[in-house]
Structure 1
Amino acid sequence: MGIKSFIGRRAKPKKGSSEKIKVSDYMTRKLITFRPEQSILEVMEVLLQKRISGGPVINEKNELVGIISEGDCMKQLSDSRYHNHPMEDVKVEHHMIRNVDTIDGDMNVLDAANKFLESKHRRFPILEKGKLVGQISQSDVLRAAMKLKGQTW
């Protein structure tokens, strides 16, 4: 599987620095997740209800197997219309992104901001021992930056 993890610097934090502000301090732990066998229509309904743009896809062992997004659903919607195929039987596993970039929960949250800029991703899952434990979004990083208010940059 193509899961890549970005690990930030592990240097000892200086007193009063932002080095100790970790991704795990700001990540979301209560995630809305999807299963590979779920229908795309179900995913679309959840995305709209919860006002989110996507989410991790996990298996029965809570292992990350992919990401599904609004864009993936839009592509399927377009393909179904073009080919005149109903969407009821279309499953997440056929349209999710399998090559998922993750970041380490111990990474400095400001270093995570650079990963967002480099990758153009909206979210990064966080794994511990191969299991999904959280996710950090761009808005989580902005929240952390507002807490720091530039004092230690």
Structure 2
Amino acid sequence: MKAHEIMVKEVYKVKASDTVRDVVERFIEHRISGLPVVNDRNEIVGYVSDGDIMRYIGKHHDLIVDIVYYSAVFKGDDVEFEARAKELLDLNVMEIARKKVMKAAWDEDIESIAATLGNKKIKKLPVERNGVLAGIISRGNVIRETFRSLL
């Protein structure tokens, strides 16, 4: 079985010119946790996930702890923390997106895709055909297609 046989063809994505706000809005609207980032030619230039947002917040942990402590002790509110969160939302997506993206080829075997998803501990792989985004494959897609006929 090949990637194009199991992939989801309708892919939620963001453009490289979008903001983290656009990403979070799509996460909430579509109940997803990761998106390919594409340029104007629909070429995959990055991937952004909820983990990337968490890593960004974690990278600024000391600042956030100080802000929360200061707000709680001296102000009684989270005005400073909200300002920091708003700053994150206004960043360009490429500031937090991974630029080295694991991808599946259009005609890649399901066994190879399963190995990549399992060994690299990632949840989804964008599928590329002729250099552009063609679909996306999740762990769930692989499991459903692998075991559908065996149950």
| TM-score, normalised by the number of residues in structure 2 | 0.77
The answer (yes or no) to whether the contact 2:46–2:98 under 8 Å persists in 1 is yes
Query: 3-state DSSP class of the match of 1:42?
Result: helix
Aligned to 2:77: none
Amino acid aligned to 2:132: K
Separation in 1, partners of 2:89, 2:35: 20
Amino acid aligned to 1:99: K
The equivalences for 1:3-152 within 5 A come to 21-78=1-58, 79=60, 82=64, 85=84, 86-149=87-150
User: What is the CA distance between 1:148 and its match in structure 2?
Assistant: 3.2
User: What is the CA distance between 1:51 and its match in structure 2?
Assistant: 0.8
Separation in 2, partners of 1:111, 1:148: 20
Q: CA offsets per residue over residues 77-118 of structure 1, 9 Å max, x none?
A: 453963864234211011100001112222221332122111
User: What is the CA distance between 1:26 and its match in structure 2?
Assistant: 0.7
Greater shift after overlay, 101-110 or 48-57? Answer: 101-110
- Structure 1's unaligned 5+ residue stretches are 1-20
Higher helix share: 2
Q: Percent identity?
A: 25
Separation in 1, partners of 2:145, 2:111: 8
The answer (yes or no) to whether the contact 2:14–2:22 under 8 Å persists in 1 is no
Separation in 1, partners of 2:105, 2:149: 20
Greater shift after overlay, 128-137 or 104-113? Answer: 104-113
Q: CA offsets per residue over residues 109-151 of structure 1, 9 Å max, x none?
A: 133212211111111111111111111110100110122317x
Distance verdict in 2 for CA 1:24–1:87, change over 3 Å: same
Separation in 1, partners of 2:19, 2:108: 34
Query: 3-state DSSP class of the match of 1:134?
Result: strand
| TM-score, normalised by the number of residues in structure 1 | 0.76
Separation in 2, partners of 1:77, 1:42: 17
Separation in 1, partners of 2:93, 2:126: 18
Q: CA offsets per residue over residues 27-53 of structure 1, 9 Å max, x none?
A: 011000011221112211210221111
Larger Rg: 2
Query: 3-state DSSP class of the match of 2:103?
Result: strand
The answer (yes or no) to whether the contact 1:56–1:64 under 8 Å persists in 2 is yes
